């Protein structure tokens, strides 16, 4: 699995991760020079939990590739992929639903365009009430 030289350190780092002390774990891992699969796995977990998602994904992927029979690594990588796919799907559906909820707006460019047109129309109406004209064609 990993070198006995780092077994104590990896145990301490796993303990930090279990206590949600991800930054401390990440910082300790950066000091270890022997980058075995356990290092990649723990660094990936720490990185993701402090917001370094791309880096974390690559590290966990590397750990899973280095030890394809390690269920913990494979499970973490698959779980992250599932989370990312769910996020992307939800995001896509949210934006699609938002465009379909325009209530008959014929605008093909989404809410932002309709909102801008409505704001311009309101501004034009206000100007006309005061004797001005923002948009001369309306």
Which whole number is the average pLDDT over 44-70? 94
In a domain, residue 15? The reply is yes
In a domain, residue 135? The reply is no
Say whether pLDDT at 91 is over 60: yes
| Percent of the chain at pLDDT exceeding 70 | 71
Domain interval for residue 66: 2-101
In a domain, residue 86? The reply is yes
Please choose, from the candidates 72, 19, 70, the residue with its C-alpha nearest in 3D space to the C-alpha of residue 49. Answer: 19
CATH classification at residue 57: 1.25.40.10
In a domain, residue 116? The reply is no
Q: What is the pLDDT, as a whole number, of residue 5?
A: 52
In a domain, residue 137? The reply is no
Domain count of the chain?
A: 1
In a domain, residue 13? The reply is yes
In a domain, residue 138? The reply is no
pLDDT digits (tens, 9 = 90+) for 94-107: 666 555 555 545 45
pLDDT category at 22 given cuts 50, 70, 90 is very high
d(CA 128, CA 123): 9
And the tokens for 21?
A: 């002390």
Whether 37 and 71 have beta carbons less than 8 Å apart is answered as no
In a domain, residue 95? The reply is yes
d(CA 98, CA 91): 11
Which whole number is the average pLDDT over 33-39? 92
């Amino acid at each position: 699995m990993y070198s006995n030289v780092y077994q104590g350190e990896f145990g301490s780092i796993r303990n930090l991760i279990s206590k949600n002390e991800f930054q401390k774990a990440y910082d300790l891992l950066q000091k270890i020079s022997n980058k075995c699969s356990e290092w990649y796995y723990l660094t990936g977990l720490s990185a993701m939990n402090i917001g370094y998602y791309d880096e974390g994904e690559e590290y966990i992927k590397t750990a899973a590739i280095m030890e394809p029979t390690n269920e913990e690594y494979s499970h973490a990588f698959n779980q992250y992929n599932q989370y990312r796919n769910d996020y992307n799907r939800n995001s896509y559906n949210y934006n699609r639903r938002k465009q379909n909820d325009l209530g008959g707006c014929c605008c093909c460019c989404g809410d932002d365009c309709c909102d801008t047109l409505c704001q311009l129309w309101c501004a034009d109406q206000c100007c006309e009430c005061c004797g001005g004209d923002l948009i001369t064609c309306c």
